[in-house]
Structure 1
Amino acid sequence: MSLIKKIKDKKVNFEFNKEYIKVVTSKIANNDAQFITNSFNEMHPADAADIIEHLGQNDRESLIKLNNFNIDPEVFIELNESVQSEIIAYLSPDTIVRLLKNLESDDAITILENVDEKDKNTILSSLPPKDRFALLESLSYPEDTAARIMQREFTAVPSNWSVGQTIDYLRENKDLPEEFLEIFIIDEDFKPIGTVPSSKVLTTSRETKMLSIMSESQLLIPVDMDKEEVGNVFENYSLNSAAVVDKSNKLVGMIMYDDVLTVLKEEAEEDALRLAGVGDEEITDGVFKKTRRRFNWLLLNLFTAFLATWVISLFGATIEQMVVLAFLMPIVASMGGNAGMQTLAVTVRTLATNDLTKNNFTQNILKEFNIGILNGIIFAIISALVVQVWFQDSLLSLIISMSMIVTMIVAGLFGILVPITLKKMDIDPAIASSVFVTTITDVIGFVSFLGVSAYFL
């Protein structure tokens, strides 16, 4: 997928126009496919996709089923995945084949992933043998691997070619990607040994050998590398593109920076949703589907709430001696929970980007310990002053300040220890960390506050 291609010769509209949506809706009702087609052709594919996404589900279905309306492949790939899945159900196999033929292999794979299994074989059998083989091979790899986001179209030339031969090849070969920044240099076994920027080819004399101007330093992406790790590699080394190799190190594809940007965006969104306990929820999901996805998480939170309540019940006698404790204990637990979630969010992100390693693990633990102490002291002083002014009770001020320090320290430590432990157990820390951290900080907050209170009272 090329960002350059999508921008050129298209009017980019950065504002969503509600009035225009009404116009499109009325044209759909009047079966005016020609107006919609002409309008979409005049705008950026992303804007056309935005309009389709903001239509109601019934209007989307009516639009796709309009006679003489064929959705543009470049518009289709700009749609979010849930809308793509919805629209695919309305498309005939012939239309899907047309889409696949007009897209690069990485985008074709994205579409094919959303096709029902019963239709997939029919669609694949209608494709040219070369395209069918490439797509089937990509589909044979797990969904979250480099093979699923790479494109099979790339530019590679033998190391013994001259610049002149390369230029002639680029001009005559029609199977090359529409845009590319680097030319891969391969040996006789089709293994990549270096790269040459396309700009360097244009500024070098025709007689020069490609081998003499290539850069040997390159990062090769294995086909089975996790796509999130691919994103980290691109981010760490500021890559524009990278060669993808199979198990025998032969060149099989190329990953472009725009595909990696999509991966990083999806992973960031996924982690944010999972931390909130809503999984891979989409805006187009129905009420029952969303309820079902949230149910397990809320049920787990209910049990942890009962656990915290049980802990409080253990100190019933202490609370009876000083009822005001019941007013203040949520403050300590809330501060601990928020501090723990701050550390958790940072830790999950560092784990996702591989910034947290064995070498800096102890250093980060000590750092969170020190942050907990510092925050604990600061908020202990603030809380003590407020309680003193409010209740005129020095003992109560001492109790809340001591428990605040303990809670903030524990919150910081468990905010980093819980996701790391889950990671070592091969459990996605973004999925389960927050409920454990919240439970631990609540329990520790109640125990520290009520325990210190019981000691002094």
Structure 2
Amino acid sequence: MREETDLAVPPRGPEHDADPTETPGFVEAVLGAIETRDVDALKAIVSDLHETDVAHLLEALPAADRPQLIELLGSDFDFTALTELDETVRVQILEELPTQTVVEGVRDLDSDDAVYILEDLDDADKQEILANLPIPERAALQRSLDYPEESAGRRMQTEFIALPPFWTVGQALDYIGETEGLPEVFFEVFVVDPSYRLSGSVPLDRLLRTKRGVKLGDVVMPDRHVVRATDDQEDVARIFERYNLISAPVVDEGERLVGVLTIDDIVDVIQEEADEDLKALGGVTGDEELSDSFWYIAKSRFSWLLFNLIAANLASFVIAMFEGELQRMVALAVLMPIVASQGGNAATQTMTVAVRALATRELRPSNARRVIARELLVGLFNGVVFAVIMAAVVFARFGIADLGFVIALAMIINLLAAALGGIMIPLILDRLKVDPAVSSGPFVTTITDVVGFFAFLSIASLWF
């Protein structure tokens, strides 16, 4: 068994960054160790893996074997790996594990990781786990969980170093070097008054370069980018991005220091928000994951598809208004989808840029007119170019010069409508406090289809 396990362990080193679950025989070796309850073999396989690789391993295992892996590893299992899992898989695992196993695992985590794991559980399970934690740890986690979802308070780490201004640099360095239980990674020492109101911070480089006898109050730097615990995590991420921050203090409504946000937390936020926006543009709810069940995914996508069905029927009613013209000239039916399709693609391009610009606050009332005018010019230019191309194609194909003129004019009108709708709909929805990433798509599609069909068929009916 030992030989087989050693062969299954993926090679180590910077040149071997592939997912270990793709190593031949790796997952099978883990399953074999779980089945025989060979703890030593299991530890030999898993102990050196990064928590992200452990998460990939858990996802590769059958659902019934995931809790067994964690229980067999015991204290050697790093619960940080659960933060890398899809929410559905993570919750399933936590519900199968004994409460005491979860409690012990959560105790070893940084507070922000512990909150991330607990926040998705049912209230009953959450409270059961919290009730088994020591009072100081329970109070810190409960305080973070009481903040709104997707707020800085949910993301912050409550472990930090806060010292009074009358301490000297030497005292601070001795405290950092001799005290157990301090954060594993930190970038500054915070200076607070007796009521924990934040005075500022002393970066580690400044601390190490200052003589030991100097008081912290004399070298403290005021924090210009203080985050409130109730601030939205997306707004906080934007501050980090704009000012190139590595960390930022978090204060409560009384200006008391309650936590710290670090760049690794913000990278996760940026990834989550980008993922949500990308899914929303495609009509998929932001929390949909690959591990979700068939029924959940079907229900979450239904409303979007229903709206699109209604929009498609509206477009079909417009077509039905010109049934006589379509019967007289079959070429209209052949060419009609081209106009609508081209407009839909152009509108999607404009809408995607607009939604992203709104999300990053690059598109604001101060520059909205300039952006709208630019998009209209782009729509007009593309409309004229494609109108000329289509007019030539239609004349070569059908030999009817007037038909080429009709589709050219319809193409210009629809691309202008696409440009206007693609920029105005996200702006209007944002003004109405509706997420433009979620709601823009169906409206834009409806506009381009209806305008495209109506423009082409109405011009044709008047011309011929």
Q: TM-score range by the shorter chain?
A: over 0.9
State which drifts further: 184-193 or 366-375.
Answer: 184-193
CA distance 1:136–1:325, change in 2 (3 Å): same
Matched, 1:141 2:144: no
Moved more, 258-267 or 174-183: 174-183
Equivalent in the alignment of 1:439: 446
Contact 1:40 1:48 in 2 (8 A): yes
Matching residue within 156, 178, 182 for 1:176: 182
Shift in Å, 1:409: 1.2
CA distance in 2, matches of 1:413, 1:18: 52
Task: After TM superposition, list the pairs within 5 Å mapping 1:72-111 onto structure 2.
Answer: 72-111=78-117
5+ residue gaps, structure 2, are 1-11
1:323 paired to 2:326: no
Higher deviation after alignment, 248-257 or 313-322:
313-322
| One-letter amino acid of the counterpart of residue 83, structure 1 | V
Q: Structure 2 CA distance, aligned partners of 1:379 and 1:235?
A: 39
Partner of 1:308: 315
Structure 1 SS opposite 2:397: helix
Separation (CA, whole Å) in 2 of partners of 1:62 and 1:205: 54
How many residues align structurally?
A: 448
1:412 is matched with which residue? Answer: 419
- TM-score relative to the length of structure 2: 0.92
Task: Give 1:352's aligned residue.
Answer: 359
Distance in 2, Cα, partners of 1:167 & 1:408: 65
Per the alignment, residue 15 of structure 1 pairs with 18
Q: How far apart in 1 are the matches of 2:226 and 2:340?
A: 49
Deviations 1:29-87 (A, max 9, x none): 33333322232211212112111112232332443455868632232223232221111
Match of 2:284 in 1: 278
How far apart are residue 433 of structure 1 and its match? 1.1
The reply on whether 1:399 has 2:406 as its aligned counterpart is: yes
Judge conservation of contact 1:332–1:403 (CA < 8 Å) in 2.
yes
Q: How far off its partner does 1:382 sit?
A: 1.9
- 1:39 is aligned to 2:45: yes
Name the SS of the counterpart of 1:154 in structure 2: coil
Runs of 4+ residues over 6 Å off in structure 1: none
1:27–1:36: 8 Å Cα contact kept in structure 2? yes
Deviation at 1:257, TM superposition (A): 0.6
**Structure 1 alignment gaps of length 5 or more:** 1-9
Within a 5 Å distance, the mapping from 1:28-427 to structure 2 comes to 28-64=34-70, 66=72, 71-279=77-285, 280-427=287-434
Preserved contact between residue 318 and residue 450 of structure 2 (Cα < 8 Å)? yes
1:161 CA drift (Å): 2.6
Post-superposition shift, 1:322? Answer: 1.6
- Deviation at residue 160 of structure 1 after TM alignment: 3.0
Distance 1:389 1:262, change over 3 A: same
Q: Conserved in 2, the CA contact under 8 Å of 1:64 and 1:90?
A: no
Cα distance, 1:187 vs structure 2: 3.5
Deviation at 1:354, TM superposition (A): 1.5
Letter in 2 for 1:87: I
Look up the match of 2:3.
none
Range with bigger deviation, 245-254 or 71-80:
71-80
- The 3-state SS of whatever aligns with 1:153 is coil
State whether structure 2 residue 458 is matched by structure 1 residue 451. Answer: yes
Q: Return the TM-score normalized by structure 1.
A: 0.93
RMSD: 1.9
CA distance in 2 between partners of 1:18 and 1:452 (Å): 63
Instruction: Report SS of the residue matched to 1:42.
Output: coil
* CA deviation after TM superposition for structure 1 residue 441, in Å: 0.9
**In the aligned structure 2, how far is the partner of 1:329 from the partner of 1:387?**
12
User: Aligned with 2:457: secondary structure?
Assistant: helix
